[in-house]
DNA sequence: CTTTTTGAACTGACTGGTCAGTGCAAAAAC
DNA sequence: GTTTTTGCACTGACCAGTCAGTTCAAAAAG
């Protein structure tokens, strides 16, 4: 009987198909938006039949929700890793923040379509996947907030800073700068962009010339 | 009743209808996105007949494009006014930046739906109104870049800063912080949010406790 | 009289979701 | 070793519903 076998509980074949669908969906939805993207398009770009989409996902919305979870999971892991690496290396919280800025830039550089799609959907209201979006947002922002809070506790940051708001502002700074970089100055290097944001973070904007 | 005649060539009556359609469209599109919003919905929310929409705008896309121009025009004027007011008051470029942050917050506070909609569309590609979006974006960002450039010239800012990127980052900082404020902490005051962003701008994040 | 709005009917293209059927590799039977 | 069975994964034509845009006679507004 049992034919599925496979090493894990999930067949590798199916997982590969889902991955192809994620990749197709992410670029199409980033370009056109969720509603303007048809299931037929996603299937065609992924090189599978339309029925396969519905074999693997309950609906178009569910495909999108799982895509969101998948992508933000990668980002969150990357941010956390960056923060922990600086901690292991004995760096301070400013270094951790700086490393997370870089991790954010690397992520956006690697998955620009996902980032576009995420930004485009995050602040909408009355959408089916609203709760999913809130959860994954919180996971990512919490990493930044955590570092800020620890920095306040150990005296590295002023205890007058507003942790949630500052975290949002930092995320926004990286997000918008990176998206503009991708869209309007794609020829620039990541290091270049990182340096500009580092300068801003450390308040080295004001100051004398040359 | 109404003193029609109108100073310009456009009748006030027609202009009022268009205004109602803008307001209806902006909230619906902010919530649902452009594609998911129907012309019937827009007409219903505006309290006019569907035919009126097409009497006033050539198409759904044209309505949206004119809405974008209208909204960003308001923002740009507001930013410029803020910068000029500080200049008249003899303030420096840091003060101008700070005033513009406040102007941005006021705008987002007053027109949250427009802001959501704008962010959701800005980084998309292959859309009909792409060029419109680029133009209006540049108008708004140019005001920030102008202040930064003047600050570099008069020595108030380091000449090592990257003007376009820093401008993007500042816009992003305000944008994301404000949207998060609206979405997740609407009870907080504008002054409160402004203070937190001011602190970040002036690099007063690092530093000793209380 | 002219401009603007109404509102309902209509069209033609498009879309999310369905479902009966196919292909195939591993397991079971012989 | 060969034949048969099993059921997962996939297919793609099809359907019922939706939507942008059109049309137009009539009425309200000015």
Q: Under an 8 A CB cutoff, do B165 and A206 touch?
A: no
Q: How confident is the model at residue B129 (pLDDT cuts 50, 70, 90)?
A: confident
What is each CA distance from B121 to A9, A28, A31, B113, in whole angstroms?
40, 14, 9, 13
Q: Under an 8 A CB cutoff, do A203 and B199 touch?
A: no
Residue nearest to nucleotide D6 (CA to C1'): A1
- Chain B contact for A204 (CB, 8 A cutoff): yes
Q: What's the mean pLDDT when you consider all of chain B?
A: 90
Candidates A128, A130, A210, A19; CA nearest to B183 is A130
pLDDT digits over B64-92, tens only? 999 999 999 999 999 999 999 999 999 99
Phi, psi angles (nearest 5°) of residue A132: -55, -45
Q: Under an 8 A CB cutoff, do A168 and B155 touch?
A: no
Shortest distance between the Cα of B11 and any Cα of chain A, in A, equals 35
Q: Is the CB of A1 under 7 A from strand D?
A: yes
CA of B37: nearest nucleotide by C1' is: D19
Which helix (H) or strand (E) element contains residue B103?
helix B93-110
- Considering the domain A1-57, what is its CATH architecture? Orthogonal Bundle (1.10)
For residue A38, what are its two tokens?
A: 């048809």
Give CA angle at A177 (B128, B201), nearest 5°.
130
pLDDT digits over B79-127, tens only? 999 999 999 999 999 999 999 999 999 999 999 999 999 999 888 887 8
Instruction: Report mean pLDDT in 10-residue bins for chain A, 210 residues.
Output: 41 89 96 95 96 97 95 95 97 96 97 94 84 90 96 93 95 95 94 95 62
pLDDT of residue B203: 79
Nearest-by-Cβ selection for B31 from A36, A126, A205: A126
pLDDT of B12 above 90 = no
User: In chain A, which segments carry CATH 1.10.357.10?
Assistant: 64-201
CA of A40 to C1' of D13 (A): 13
Nearest-by-Cβ selection for A116 from B124, B157, B192: B124
Helix axes B12-32, B60-88, angle to 10 degrees: 100
Under 8 Å between Cβ of B177 and A172? yes
Q: Under an 8 A CB cutoff, do B33 and A33 touch?
A: yes
Q: Under an 8 A CB cutoff, do B126 and A32 touch?
A: yes
User: In chain B, which segments carry CATH 1.10.10.60?
Assistant: 10-57
- Chain A contact for B47 (CB, 8 A cutoff): no
Which residues, 6 or more positions from A55, have their beta carbon under 8 angstroms from its beta carbon? none
User: In chain B, which segments carry CATH 1.10.357.10?
Assistant: 68-201
Between 1.10.10.60, 2.60.40.420, 1.10.3720.10, 3.40.50.300, what CATH number should domain B10-57 receive? Answer: 1.10.10.60
What is each CA distance from A170 to A132, A155, A197, B92, B96, in whole angstroms?
22, 19, 10, 24, 21
The distance in angstroms from the start CA to the end CA of chain A is: 76
Candidates A136, A125, A117, A121; CA nearest to A75 is A136
What is each CA distance from B98 to A180, B86, B201, in whole angstroms?
22, 9, 8
User: In chain A, which segments carry CATH 1.10.10.60?
Assistant: 1-57
Interface of B with A in 54-93 (CB under 8 A): none
CA–CA gap between residue A183 and residue A190 (Å, rounded) = 14
Q: Under an 8 A CB cutoff, do B123 and A170 touch?
A: no
**Residue listed under structure tokens 């009909």:** B128
CA–CA gap between residue A94 and residue A86 (Å, rounded) = 10
Q: Which CATH superfamily is domain A64-201 in?
A: Tetracycline Repressor, domain 2 (1.10.357.10)
Q: Which CATH superfamily is domain B68-201 in?
A: Tetracycline Repressor, domain 2 (1.10.357.10)
pLDDT of residue B204: 66
For strand C, give the nucleotides within 7 A of a protein CB: 3-9, 14-20, 25-28
Which residues, 6 or more positions from A83, have their beta carbon under 8 angstroms from its beta carbon? A96, A99, A100, A143, A146, A147
pLDDT of B134 above 50 = yes
CA of B47 to C1' of D24 (A): 21
For residue A185, what are its two tokens?
A: 């100055």
pLDDT of residue A209: 44
Which residues, 6 or more positions from A189, have their beta carbon under 8 angstroms from its beta carbon? none
CA–CA gap between residue B63 and residue B56 (Å, rounded) = 9
What is each CA distance from B160 to A99, B144, B152, B202, in whole angstroms?
21, 17, 9, 17
pLDDT of residue B13: 83
CA of A41: nearest nucleotide by C1' is: C15
For strand D, give the nucleotides within 7 A of a protein CB: 6-14, 18-25, 29-30
- Chain B contact for A10 (CB, 8 A cutoff): no
- Chain A contact for B186 (CB, 8 A cutoff): no
What is each CA distance from A33 to A69, A110, A159, A172, A179, in whole angstroms?
17, 20, 41, 21, 16
pLDDT of residue B10: 59
pLDDT of residue B114: 96
CA–CA gap between residue B71 and residue B107 (Å, rounded) = 10
């Amino acid at each position: 009987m049992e034919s599925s076998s496979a090493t894990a509980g999930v067949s590798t074949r199916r997982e590969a198909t889902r991955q192809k669908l994620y990749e197709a969906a992410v670029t199409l939805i980033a370009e056109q938006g969720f509603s303007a993207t048809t299931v037929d398009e996603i299937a065609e770009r992924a090189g599978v039949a339309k029925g396969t989409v519905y074999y693997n996902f309950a609906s178009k919305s569910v495909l999108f929700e799982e895509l969101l979870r998948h992508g933000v999971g990668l980002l969150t892991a990357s941010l956390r890793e960056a923060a922990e690496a600086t901690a292991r290396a004995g760096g301070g919280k400013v270094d951790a923040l700086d490393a997370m800025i870089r991790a954010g830039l690397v992520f956006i550089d690697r998955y620009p379509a996902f980032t576009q799609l995420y930004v485009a959907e995050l602040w909408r209201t009355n959408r089916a996947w609203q709760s999913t979006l809130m959860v994954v947002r919180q996971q990512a922002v919490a990493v930044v907030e955590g570092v800020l809070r620890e920095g306040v506790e150990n005296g590295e940051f002023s205890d007058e800073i507003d942790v949630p708001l500052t975290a949002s502002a930092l995320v926004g700074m990286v997000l918008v700068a990176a998206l503009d970089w991708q869209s309007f100055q794609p020829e620039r290097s990541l290091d270049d962009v990182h340096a500009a944001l580092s300068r801003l973070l450390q308040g080295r904007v004001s100051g004398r010339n040359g």
